[in-house]
């Protein structure tokens, strides 16, 4: 293992996080916050600069990153960023418990949106902004962001980006990896800026527009108020958020096709059509099921569409109390939690692409039992699906199921409500945020459970393998 390269890159990444803390510092200046808030942010920046500076003084002799180093760098980076990102909350006394702060920032960077805060009013504007800013950075990927701005553009960084970008298949949209990272972030940030402006024009305060747009773009779901989007009491804002989050749940490579005017490639994408189909069918089914609960049929549709959009994209914004919805509708939402958004998007979950591949494999298995001698080739977007990808999806789902069951078992020690435990496990592991069956926050769980869920959020965001390999001794061996 090239440990010196792991140390060097992690140190650089800590320096980047220190630079990012300038943003909440500016917000603190604008809102003229207390000296304690300034000290908490500056103190964290000082720690990061010292650690990052010491670790990056000696450059490695070998800059090459192999698969093992790539996976390890990704896992450690997300854990370190979440830990140090939570220190301002601890130093400021706004989230005094360090495990709670780690949970909150793990939720922020992984764009989960789960919170231990019973009332967001305890957060100052700058630290609330920092919490949501983590959504914006983590949405496209911490390492993708770093790769876009770091000076080293060698394709040895391919293993880092491959380990972080969600989905069963990774591909560059342009020849140079650094250019791919920059292009994806440019598209992402332009969409975020447009989203912010539209929310502001719709009547939302500018600060709130930034917070909600960061939560929507990163599909994270942190909001300004406890009642989330319901606070604004605006159908226009509700529908803008619904459509906005759905757009960020689409594979960003497809937006690049739009820029190239490859409309056929965009609208003909099989995963996109499946994604839209799931949204339409789920919305209609829930609308029919809950329409009697609201004063008008349109209001029932508005809430149904919003909840489907915010759940399938794993955003987790709130608009209504879904605990009073019929079980049928809650189960649909629970299923959407597992499916998630498209591969290559900011959404979590197992991804629509994996669900699509699994359905094709299942169909092929049924047909092979009827026609044993028939040889069939599976296709996605008219391209043959190789056996390696098929086996990779099945292996991933097997590991996913085992970890999820283990997580449910651990959480069951803290709570006797089956829906709460299952949805809490699914919510954190799939990077969604809200729980079903309760209106409480994740503060109801023990410190140990919150620590486990923090790692579950990071594992879910990184698609399991990087975090899992951290606990295998062979990963740390020399060879």
For residue 357, the surrounding DSSP H or E stretch is: helix 352-370
Query: Could you tell me how far CA 314 lies from the centroid of its own chain?
Result: 7
Distance, CA of 44 to CA of 46 (rounded, Å): 5
Distance, CA of 408 to CA of 40 (rounded, Å): 35
Distance, CA of 396 to CA of 42 (rounded, Å): 41
- Give one DSSP letter per residue of 451-474, joined into a string: HHHHHHHHHHHTTSHHHHHHT-GG
User: Is residue 325 classed as helix, strand or coil in its secondary structure?
Assistant: coil
Query: Could you tell me how far CA 363 lies from the centroid of its own chain?
Result: 30
Q: What is the pLDDT along the chain (479 residues), one digit of tens a residue?
A: 677 888 888 998 899 999 999 999 999 999 999 999 999 999 999 999 999 999 988 887 776 776 777 778 888 989 999 999 999 999 999 999 999 999 999 999 998 989 999 888 899 999 999 999 999 988 877 656 655 555 554 444 544 555 555 545 444 444 445 566 678 788 889 999 999 999 999 999 999 999 999 999 999 889 999 889 999 999 999 999 999 999 999 988 899 888 888 888 888 899 999 999 999 999 999 999 998 899 899 999 999 999 999 999 989 898 988 888 999 999 999 899 889 889 888 888 888 988 888 888 888 888 777 777 776 778 787 788 778 888 888 888 899 899 999 999 999 998 888 888 998 998 899 888 878 777 788 999 999 999 999 999 999 888 788 888 888 887 777 66
Query: Could you tell me how far CA 17 lies from the centroid of its own chain?
Result: 18
Does the predicted model carry a pTM greater than 0.85? yes
Size of the chain in residues: 479
Radius of gyration of the chain (CA): 22
**What is the residue extent of each domain of the chain?**
383-476
Distance, CA of 214 to CA of 134 (rounded, Å): 8
Distance, CA of 290 to CA of 328 (rounded, Å): 10
């Amino acid at each position: 293992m090239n440990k010196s390269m792991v140390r060097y890159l992690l140190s650089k990444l800590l320096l980047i996080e220190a630079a990012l803390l300038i943003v909440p510092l500016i917000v603190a200046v604008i809102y003229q916050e207390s000296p304690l808030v300034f000290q908490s942010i500056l103190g964290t920046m000082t720690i990061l600069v010292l650690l990052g500076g010491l670790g990056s003084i000696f450059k490695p002799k070998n800059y090459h990153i192999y698969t093992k180093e790539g996976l390890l760098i990704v896992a450690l980076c997300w854990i370190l960023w979440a830990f140090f990102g939570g220190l301002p909350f601890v130093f400021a006394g706004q989230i005094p418990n360090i495990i709670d702060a780690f949970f909150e920032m793990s939720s922020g960077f992984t764009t989960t949106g789960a919170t231990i805060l019973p009332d967001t009013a305890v957060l100052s504007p700058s630290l609330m902004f920092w919490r949501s800013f983590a959504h914006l950075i983590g949405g496209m990927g911490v390492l993708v962001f770093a790769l876009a701005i770091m000076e080293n553009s060698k394709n040895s960084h391919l293993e880092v980006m491959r380990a972080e970008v969600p989905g069963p298949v990774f591909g560059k949209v342009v020849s140079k990896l650094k250019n791919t990272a920059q292009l994806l972030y440019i598209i992402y940030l332009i969409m975020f800026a447009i989203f912010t402006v539209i929310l502001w024009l719709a009547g939302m305060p500018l600060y709130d527009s930034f917070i909600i747009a960061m939560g929507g773009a990163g599909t994270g779901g942190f909001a300004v108020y406890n009642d989330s989007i319901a606070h604004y009491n605006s159908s226009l804002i509700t529908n803008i958020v619904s459509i906005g989050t759905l757009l960020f749940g689409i594979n960003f490579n497809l937006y690049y096709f739009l820029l190239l005017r490859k409309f056929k490639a965009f609208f003909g994408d099989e995963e996109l059509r499946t994604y839209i189909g799931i949204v339409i069918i789920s919305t209609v089914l829930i609308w029919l099921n809950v329409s009697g609960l609201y004063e008008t049929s349109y209001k029932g549709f508005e809430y149904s569409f919003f909840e489907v959009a915010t759940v399938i994209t794993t955003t987790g914004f709130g608009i209504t109390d879904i605990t009073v919805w019929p079980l049928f509708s809650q189960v649909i939402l629970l299923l959407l939690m597992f499916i998630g958004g498209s591969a290559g998007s900011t959404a979590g979950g197992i991804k629509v692409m994996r669900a699509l591949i699994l359905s094709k494999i299942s169909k092929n298995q049924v047909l092979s039992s009827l026609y044993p001698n028939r040889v069939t080739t599976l296709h996605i977007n008219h391209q043959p699906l190789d056996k390696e990808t098929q086996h990779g999806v099945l292996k991933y789902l097997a590991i996913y199921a085992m970890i999820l069951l283990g997580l449910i078992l651990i959480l069951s020690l803290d709570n006797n409500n089956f829906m709460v435990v299952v949805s809490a496990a699914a919510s954190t592991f799939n990077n969604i945020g809200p729980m079903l069956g309760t209106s409480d926050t994740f503060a109801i769980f023990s410190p140990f459970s919150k620590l486990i869920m923090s790692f579950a959020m990071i594992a879910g965001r990184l698609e399991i393998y990087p975090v899992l390999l951290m606990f295998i001794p062979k990963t740390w061996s020399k060879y």
